Amino acid sequence: MLNHIHRFIFFITLITLSLSSHSIEVIEILGGKASQIPIAITPFNEEIRTMGQVTDKKNADLQKMHKVIANDLERSGLFTSLDTSGISTIPDSDILINFSNWSALQAQFLVVGKIITIQNRLITRWSLIDIYKEKTVLSMEFSGSKKQYRGIAHKISDLIYKKLTGSPGVFHTRITFVKKKSEKIYGLYVADYDGFNQRAIVNSSQPILSARWSPDGEKIAYVSFEKKKPVIYVQDLNTGKRVLVANFKGNNSAPAWSPDSKKLAIVLTYSANSQIYIINSDGSGIKQLMRTRSINTEPAWSPDGKEIFFSSDRGGNPQIYKVNVDGVSDVNRVTFEGKSNLSPSLSPDGKLLLFLTQDNGKFRVAVQNLLSNQVLKLTKGPHDESPVFSPNGHMVLFTYKDYGKTTKIGTVSINGLKVTPLRVGSEAIQESSWGPITSN
């Protein structure tokens, strides 16, 4: 009960903070399960035109377009998509909508659409309709090749999301993850944010760790053991070419991009135990951030580029601390609850800390409001890891593992209400990273 109220207050504060600069048509979020916007997304009817004839044969993929949209919005945790399978007549445009029928179904919004296919091309005409206000909110047309149907669906989801929440959608973005196929086969993969369209960008017989997408979207930094010890590469996503940016004596690991993509915070064990350094992202220059007898690792930059958060065992068990990037400053402890706290990262607005907390022996993903220091545990464990924010801060990508089982990957919405797996294969998945919002 108290947990529910905590969640409500936490989430309201979060949404209020992120929506305060946005506009008029924003829906008020009420709290708890009642906060999810009920939306009905009806199947998009396909009309095939071939040389002027209309045929019966429909494309199985295109029949899934509405499901891609429904899955996107559901995954965000802010929407409940209603089951429309029982409805006999599905509208395919915003003309002649029976508002009272949809209202009876408890739908607050309705998405309808139509797909016209001509050989390899498709045209989608769709509308977002407000059932309470009985009016069309958005109405658009997109075209592309049939193969692009998922990308077009994601674009529609982004537009609906932006319109109804005021925040940019992330359904068009991409992620990376490492697949461990066997003891001797590792791959670093790039995929759509929902796990589809995966392709390997690195294949190795040795472990790959800590893949991190640069904020400008151009490069991936990662740790590879191919030289029989951990070293750091930066690989260009467009050309596939890579540069060895750190190969000092000892371990080289934990690359973290500065917000302007120009620098990397890295961890070296040159001086025996793990310490944090800053280098330019091309490998030039080097500056030691600080030095203690303890472990200092897992650096993460604040979005304003002024502070670095990191984990350290200077107090006994690992906790999260922060320090200024420039000049001499005090190191301040940030986490106080829980036996150990690891893997820090910051939300895009800098207000939330995302991390891993050890709670009764279980590793769980948690967020802490950096103003109030209130902590909300988002996942259950027992072996959750590698949490990273989506670029709008509304979802978290993480890996999870049950006792004795293989590691999988999934998302959890920032309100904690929706955990959804990513289906990327049966092999063990570790180390996830989320790419930026792109403007195309």
Q: Tokens in use for 277?
A: 């350094």
DSSP at 88: S
Interaction mask 206-225, other proteins, x per CB under 8 A? -x-xx--------------x
Using CA atoms of 15, 21, 25, 27 in order, give the dihedral in degrees to the nearest 10: 10
Contact set for other proteins, span 60-89 (CB under 8 A): none
- Part of the chain binding other proteins (CB under 8 A), chosen from 82-90, 108-116, 165-173, 291-299: 291-299
Q: Tokens in use for 238?
A: 């467009």
Give least dist CB 261 to other proteins, A.
Answer: 20
d(CA 6, CA 173): 31
Q: Which is closer to other proteins, CB of 137 or CB of 295?
A: 295
Q: Which helix (H) or strand (E) holds 162?
A: helix 149-165
Q: Tokens in use for 4?
A: 């529910």
In the list 318, 338, 391, 410, the residue contacting other proteins (rule: CB under 8 A) is 318
Interaction mask 382-421, other proteins, x per CB under 8 A? -x-xx--------------x-xxxxx--------------
Q: Which is closer to other proteins, CB of 299 or CB of 435?
A: 299
Give least dist CB 409 to other proteins, A.
Answer: 14
Contact set for other proteins, span 250-279 (CB under 8 A): 250-251, 253-254, 267-270, 272-274
In the list 6, 33, 249, 380, the residue contacting other proteins (rule: CB under 8 A) is 249
Looking at residue 371, its amino acid is L
Catalogue the long-range contacts made by 217-224 (C-beta closer than 8 Å, 24 or more residues apart).
217/435, 217/436, 217/438, 218/261, 219/261, 219/281, 220/176, 220/188, 220/190, 220/433, 221/245, 221/255, 221/257, 221/264, 221/281, 222/188, 222/255, 223/252, 223/253, 223/254, 223/255
DSSP-assigned states of every residue in 216-262: TSSEEEEEE-TTSS-EEEEEETTT--EEEEE--SS-EEEEEE-TTSS
Cβ atoms of 319 and 312 within 8 Å: the answer is yes
Q: Which is closer to other proteins, CB of 175 or CB of 267?
A: 267
Number of shown-chain residues binding other proteins (CB under 8 A): 53
Give least dist CB 87 to other proteins, A.
Answer: 46
Q: Does 17 bind other proteins (CB under 8 A)?
A: no
Interaction mask 100-139, other proteins, x per CB under 8 A? ----------------------------------------
Q: Tokens in use for 47?
A: 């009309």
- Residue 374: Cβ within 10 Å count: 14
Q: Which is closer to other proteins, CB of 317 or CB of 373?
A: 317
Binding residues vs other proteins (CB under 8 A): 180, 207, 209-210, 225, 227-230, 244, 247-251, 253-254, 267-270, 272-274, 284-287, 295, 297-298, 311, 317-318, 328, 340, 342-343, 356, 358, 363, 383, 385-386, 401, 403-407, 428, 430-431
